[in-house]
Amino acid sequence: MRGPGVFSVGRSPEDYPKGGVTLEEATQIVASLRSGIGAAYDGYLAKVRTFEKVPEIGERWPREGYFVPTRAAFLREHERRASPATMDRLLHIFDEPASH
């Protein structure tokens, strides 16, 4: 059962034995996820740099030609797309009916 300050994360009880996380824990999870996305993109850029013909790495995107965005450009776009959905989800945590 969820109480004030706790929301269900849609995982199995084995993943989160207490049945949910606090808002503070949720914020930490989101921060860790976003940090992990940046680290994964760093790995992608490292691979791109090994290509025989390395694309230009900068502010432009593949849809514009043989380009790949920098880590900063990629994360800006990720934040632009993900932040509204994340914020909306966090703001409506307590609107959901209890699932237990």
What's the CA angle centered on 82, arms 17 and 92, to 5 degrees?
55
What pLDDT band is residue 7 in, cutting at 50, 70 and 90? very low
Residue 6 pLDDT > 80? no
Residue 2 sits in the same domain as residue 44:
no
Residue 10 pLDDT > 70? no
Residue 91 sits in the same domain as residue 65:
yes
Domain enclosing residue 48, as ranges: 40-100
What pLDDT band is residue 8 in, cutting at 50, 70 and 90? very low
Residue 19 sits in the same domain as residue 66:
no
pLDDT number for residue 21: 74
Residue 59 sits in the same domain as residue 28:
no
Model pLDDT for residues 17-63, shown as the tens digit of each residue: 666 777 788 888 888 888 999 999 999 999 999 999 999 999 999 99
Residue 25 sits in the same domain as residue 63:
no
Distance CA 67, CA 15 (A): 40
Model pLDDT for residues 59-83, shown as the tens digit of each residue: 999 999 999 999 999 999 998 888 8
What pLDDT band is residue 96 in, cutting at 50, 70 and 90? low
